[in-house]
Structure 1
C-alpha cells in the first residue's frame, strides 16, 4: 500500500477488523458478525443549536456485545461535559474501514475514529490523522500504559493514537475434559512440555467421540501462530522491521514442532478460522484454545465449565499476543482541544474502571490493579496481569495486512496441509517477505 489515502483490500479489512477485538464468532463473541448502526445519527462538527456545545463525531466499529460499555462511556462523558457533545456512528469494522480513508481525505471524515493499532502507520503516513504529542505532554502520561501498548501508539517517534481498549490472549481450557483425561483441572499447564502433554492426553483422533486437544486457528482470526514462534525465541521480522527472519532456526523449530503436533498427532483441525475454533471449544470438541477477553461472556452464558490461564511458557519464556483498538483525531477536525479532552477522559482512571467492568477487557492503564470495580469480573485481572508479557504482531509495518495474508498464513497452511516441508515453505516465504520489506512487492 502506498502513502496516498488508503483503500483496504477485502483480505486486509478482515484481518484488521478481527484484530480489533474478536477471535471469531460463535454469534456472541464476534464483533464483526453484527451489522449494527448507532441509534444516534451523525452530526457535523460545529456548534449545537443552542450555540454553546461543541459537537464531535466519533466513528467506530464496536458492534459486538461490548458495545453498550462504549456507549455508556460516551454518554457519561456527554453528561459531565455539557460544553462538548460526542455523537457515535457505529458500523461494522469492514464498512468503517472502507469509507474512512476517503472520508478523511475529502474533509468529510469524523473528528475521532477508532481502528486497530496496526493501522496507525498507514493513516499517519498518509497524513489522514493528527499527531497527539501535545496531549501526551499535557494531560496523558504514557507511563500509565503497558510499554508495548505505548509503543504502538507512535509513528516516526510521534504519538498518533490513544488506546481505546487493550486485549491480551490467554489459554482457555475445558475443566471437564481435563478431568476426564486424568489432568488436574485446577492446575493448567505452565510450560510447553506440560501443554503438549495436556494436548496429547485430551486428543481423541478416532471414533464418534473425536476430540481435539486444541483448536488452533490459522486464518480469519487474531494471530495465534506468532505466539508459538515468540515462545521459542523466534519471530517473522527483525526488531527494526527491515529484515525477514522466517528462516531463523528458532522460528523454523517452533513452526515444525507445532505443525508436527497438528499433523502427526491430530491435535487440531487444519485450516481453522477463528469462528470455527470458537465453535469447537464451546461445543466441547476441543479442550483448549487461545482467545481474548471478549470470549468469556459467550462461553459463560453457554454453561461451559472452563477457566483461563497464561499461555504456557516456551523455551524463551512467557509471552502472549497484544491487540488494541486506538482513538485517533481526524485531520480535518475543527475542535482539536475538545478531541483531546475526550481522549483524556477516555483513559482516566474512573472511565477505564467503568469500561473494563462493563466490557470484560482489561484496562489500558497499569495502575488500577487494586480497584474493586475490576474485581467484579473475575476474568479481568487475569487478562490484565499479562499486559507486560504481551507483544504486538508485525508492529509498525505499513504492509502489515499483505505480510499476514499473502506470506505468513499461506506458509503455515502449506506446512499443515503437507504441501511443503517447513524448511521449504518458510524459505520461500522469507524471500517474499524480504521483497515486501525492501519495497519490491
Structure 2
C-alpha cells in the first residue's frame, strides 16, 4: 500500500509482528497442491482476463476505497479487455496455505517481505518471471529487494515488491539544538549515537528508547545486528548465527546505555506504538522507526512534523539497515492471461507515473502525507522519478529527512526462515539486557540460539 494515500501504510506491520506464526495445518494441506506439479502458470493464448486482488481498502476508509476504485477504472481504460475484481481480504499467514489449497485465494495477494521464500518452497506462488522482467523498470529494484522474490536455486521470479521501508533514526530537532547538537547532522556511528543520547538526556527526557515486546525487540535487534555487519541466520536459513561477537556487541551497547549511561528510559517492554507516544510527548529524544509511521505520528499523536528529523541508522561496520514491506504474490492455479492482468494492475497501480500523480494529488488535497522518504526499494533513475513526483505534491518538511534520503546504506531483508518465531525468541533477550543490570549478553544469546536452532531443525524435517 502506498503510504502517501493509505491511512495505514503497509499491511499492519505492528499487528503482524505480534505473530509467532504457526502455519501447521495450512502447510500440510498444501502438500497435495505441491504434488500436482510445477508452480508455472498454465499456458494459454487467450487475450485479456479478469483477475481478483486482495488489497481493496476497508469500508471505514471511504476516500481510499474511492481512490482505489478510480485506479481500477483508469487501469481498465488503459488496458482494454483486462478487468479487476478487488476484495478486502488481508493476508493472514496462518490461513493462506489452507485457503490456497481450497481454491479461495485471490489471483494477486499483497503479503509481506518475509513470506515469499516459504511460498516458493511450498509451490504456493506463481512463476511470473517473463511478466516481471517484461516491465521496463524491473531492473531498478534494489538487488536486496529483488532477492526477496527470487528463487536462489533457479533465478525465477515469484512476486512484485510493492513498497518498503528501511528502519531509521528519528529524533527531536529542538532537543538537538537545545543540547548544542546540529539537527541537520544526526549520529552516524554507534559511538556518536551513544554520546548523543547522554547529551540529550535530562531529568524529564530520555536520550533513547527501545522496543522489546510483541516480537519488536527481536525485529530491532536484527536491525542493530545489520548495522554491526552480523548475520542472523545462515544463507540457507538452516543455522542460527545471532550469538556472534556482533550480536553480543549490540546487546552490550544497549545494556551500557541503559545502566552505565542511564540515557535510556527506565521503563521497558515497549512497542513502537509506545515509542511514538513518548516521542510525540517530548519524553524521549531518539527512537528507531520506519518513515511510513509519520502518518500515525501526525494524525494519531498530533505531532508537529517540523520538530522532527529522520537520519540513517548509526553504524558499527555493517553499512546497512533492515528493510521490510509488502510484496504481491500470485496464485499458481491462475491462468496465464489472468496472471498477466493481475501483474499489469499491480505495476500500474503502484508504479505508473500518471496513476501515481493522481494519487499524490488526491492525497495532498485530502490532507494525507506526501513526500515521506519511502521510495527505498528502487535505485537510480526510477527512484529519482518517484521522489520528484512526490515532492511536487509534498506537504511534509522533506528537508528534515535529507540525512536519511542522502545516505547510501545497503538494505538487508529480514531473515528468511521462521522469522517471527526468531523475533519472539529474541524479545526475552532484549528484555533481559534492558531490565537486569547483571545480564550476560553472550549467555543470553547462546541460550536463545540453541532454542531457536531447534525450531529451524524442526522446520526442515
Indicate how the Cα distance of structure 1 residues 387 and 73 shifts in structure 2: closer, same or farther if over 3 A, else same: farther
Rounded to whole Å, the distance in 2 between the matches of 1:381 and 1:118 is 28
TM-score, normalised to structure 1, is 0.77
Are 1:219 and 2:213 counterparts? Answer: yes
Give the corresponding residue for 1:15.
none
Rounded to whole Å, the distance in 2 between the matches of 1:86 and 1:75 is 9
Rounded to whole Å, the distance in 1 between the matches of 2:351 and 2:268 is 43
Give the corresponding residue for 2:142.
146
Give the corresponding residue for 2:412.
391
Rounded to whole Å, the distance in 1 between the matches of 2:238 and 2:429 is 20
Give the corresponding residue for 2:294.
296
Give the corresponding residue for 1:180.
178
Are 1:373 and 2:376 counterparts? Answer: no
| 3-state DSSP of counterpart to 2:309 | strand
2:339 alignment partner, one of 316, 336, 341: 336
Alignment of 1:79-228 (within 5 A): 79-91=77-89, 96-139=92-135, 142-156=138-152, 157-204=155-202, 206=203, 210-220=204-214, 223-228=219-224
CA displacement at 1:99 relative to structure 2: 4.2
Rounded to whole Å, the distance in 1 between the matches of 2:307 and 2:215 is 21
Give the corresponding residue for 1:307.
308
- Which whole-Å deviations, capped at 9, do the CAs of 1:364-401 have from their partners, x for residues lacking one? 4322344331324354877665585221121x32x222
- Which whole-Å deviations, capped at 9, do the CAs of 1:271-316 have from their partners, x for residues lacking one? 1111111111112111111212222234345242433333343220
Rounded to whole Å, the distance in 2 between the matches of 1:85 and 1:71 is 12
The answer for unaligned runs of 5 or more in structure 2 is 1-7, 19-46, 364-369
| 3-state DSSP of counterpart to 1:345 | helix
Rounded to whole Å, the distance in 2 between the matches of 1:420 and 1:284 is 29
Indicate how the Cα distance of structure 1 residues 72 and 295 shifts in structure 2: closer, same or farther if over 3 A, else same: farther
Indicate how the Cα distance of structure 1 residues 239 and 54 shifts in structure 2: closer, same or farther if over 3 A, else same: closer
Give the corresponding residue for 1:415.
433
Give the corresponding residue for 1:427.
446
| 3-state DSSP of counterpart to 1:368 | helix
The answer for unaligned runs of 5 or more in structure 1 is 1-17, 33-51
CA displacement at 1:162 relative to structure 2: 0.3
Are 1:400 and 2:401 counterparts? Answer: no
CA displacement at 1:86 relative to structure 2: 1.7
RMSD across aligned C-alpha pairs, in angstroms?
3.4
CA displacement at 1:228 relative to structure 2: 1.8
CA displacement at 1:169 relative to structure 2: 2.2
CA displacement at 1:163 relative to structure 2: 0.9
Which structure is higher in helix share?
2
| 3-state DSSP of counterpart to 1:151 | helix
| 3-state DSSP of counterpart to 2:54 | strand
The structure with higher relative contact order (CA 8 Å, sep 6+) is 2
